[in-house]
Amino acid sequence: MSNTEITALDFDLLGSISVVENIFNWMAWSPDGKTLAIANLNDQICFWNLETSKHWWQLVRMASAGISYVVWSPDSSIIASGCVDGTIKLQNAENGQGISQNNVDPGSTIDSMTWSSDGSLLAIGSQRKIHLFTPIGNELINKGTLLQQDKVESIAFKPNSTILAASSNFDVDLWDARTEKLVSKLDDPRGPVGSVAWSPDGKIIVSGAWGYIYVWNSETEMLIKDFKGATDWITSVTLSYDGSFLASASREGIVRIWSCKDWKMYGEFNQKIGKIGGLAFHPSKYVLATHDKQGLCVNVWKLVFSK
């Protein structure tokens, strides 16, 4: 979509899921775009179908106090669940059958997970560690651990690459997951960095910190733009499937949509978002999932642009 043609932005509600207790955590769309998966503190994953707007629950049996993170394999066949006790589990996304279970970091919450585009690497962030695994058959093979100086809030693989971006306190660390070497650091003076995301073509890295959004050229590692994106800590950033739009959420509870051409804001609404993981762009549509600050409601919105 050409951003120069847009004059207004509206949000149409496609569906909503609510719970009375057992808070929602991280959520993620399946790469095939059919289903939204939402982690829940009651050892369950809630699935929402885009076509039917129907949802259902699937129990994840683990010795934990709840699921903190979910991520899909690139082919949408496997769901990886991370728990608050440091356990992760892989299961068949279609029937829920368990594939493997690992106690990655006992006593530590799984804060972030990301799968490489080819499915050969699964990175798991907890405390100041990034654990690297390779799925082989029904097992996860430990490939090594990357040690960060500060707590890992967010990690993301560069599309079609083994380069891994990890949010730290006042910078974004870039690792080569194959060699387990730190490649570079992108300085973010208004940290701590709460979220990091790549553009679909891998040319841009976006990070959110205290009130500001930073945009980096991933090839030159030069700062392209930094701009005020909130009055509080920015907890989540995500880009649309075509790289045209950036969605951000902050602890003040406001979702904002930005143009990736001139980085101007197109629209905003108050969703009372406070948690990291409060945003998820659909992989092939201008559809955005959000959840509220209390984690009791998930809304799915269609972004409607007027020309």
Domain total for the chain? 1
The answer to whether 166 touches 173, Cβ cutoff 8 Å, is yes
Q: What is the pLDDT, as a whole number, of residue 276?
A: 45
- Name residue, tokens 């608050």: 84
For residue 220, how far is the Cα from the chain centroid?
A: 24
Q: Is 201 left (phi over 0), alpha (psi -120 to 50) or beta?
A: alpha
Burial (CB < 10 A; 0-12, 13-18, 19+), residue 129, is middle
Q: What global pTM score does this model have?
A: 0.91
Q: Is 3 helix (H, G, I), strand (E, B) or coil?
A: helix
Please answer whether residues 185 and 167 qualify as being in contact, where contact means their C-beta atoms are separated by less than 8 angstroms. Answer: no
Q: What CATH number is attached to the domain comprising 249?
A: 2.130.10.10
**Residue range of the domain that includes 28:** 3-306
Which tokens is 238 given? 């995500």
pLDDT digits (tens, 9 = 90+) for 140-178: 898 999 988 788 889 999 999 999 999 877 889 999 999
The segments of the chain whose pLDDT lies below 50 read 274, 276
pLDDT at position 263 is 93
Q: Is 5 helix (H, G, I), strand (E, B) or coil?
A: helix
The CA-atom distances, in angstroms, between 160 and each of 117, 119, 190, 300 are 5, 10, 30, 28
- Report d(CA 135, CA 53) in Å as an integer: 32
- Of 88, 160, 163, the closest CA to residue 125 belongs to 88
Span 218-257, pLDDT tens digits: 999 999 999 998 888 888 999 999 999 999 988 888 899 9
* Residue whose C-alpha is closest to residue 163's, from 173, 154, 151: 173
Structure confidence at residue 221 (pLDDT): 92
pLDDT at residue number 41: 80
CB of 181 closer than 8 Å to CB of 147: no
Angular region, 61: left φ>0, alpha ψ -120 to 50, beta rest: beta
Reading the block at residue 171, the tokens are 């910078």
